[in-house]
């Protein structure tokens, strides 16, 4: 008996993972590396996984580091981005 599962896309105001479809070879190594299982492999070679639960992303970068072609970029929310200021510009 074969079990079948159905996944439903859960929307979010963030989209953390972006794929360059020109570079993606569809190996799905990123989906295997994802700690939160937000990436769902698609049947068919050469296609990137679907980002099913974008709001659950931990922004760890495991998917980016695992990608052999550099097809993945991670976009952190604005509130999580650090901005470094040169100490010399503060007059200290």
Structural domains for the chain? 20-76 (3.30.70.20)
Q: What is the pLDDT of residues 43-69, one digit of tens each?
A: 767 788 988 888 889 999 999 999 999
Q: How far apart are the C-alpha atoms of 10 and 29, rounded to whole Å? A: 22
Give residue 92's pLDDT: 56
More confident residue, 18 or 3: 18
> Tokens for 37?
């299982």
Mean pLDDT within 69-89: 81
Asked if the model's pLDDT at residue 91 lies above 90, the reply is no
> Tokens for 79?
């509130």
Sequence-separated (6 or more) residues with CB below 8 Å from residue 18: 72, 73, 74, 75
**39-40 vs 50-51, strand pairing mode:** antiparallel
Asked if the model's pLDDT at residue 34 lies above 80, the reply is yes
Give residue 77's pLDDT: 79
Give residue 44's pLDDT: 66
């Amino acid at each position: 008996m074969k079990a079948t599962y159905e996944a439903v896309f859960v929307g979010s105001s963030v989209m953390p993972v972006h794929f360059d479809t020109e570079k993606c070879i569809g190996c799905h190594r990123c989906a295997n590396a994802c700690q939160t299982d937000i990436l769902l492999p698609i049947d068919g070679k050469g296609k990137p996984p679907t980002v099913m639960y974008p709001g659950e992303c931990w922004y760890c970068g495991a998917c980016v580091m695992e990608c052999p072609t550099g097809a993945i970029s991670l976009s952190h929310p604005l509130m999580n981005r650090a901005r470094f200021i040169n100490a010399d510009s503060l007059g200290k």
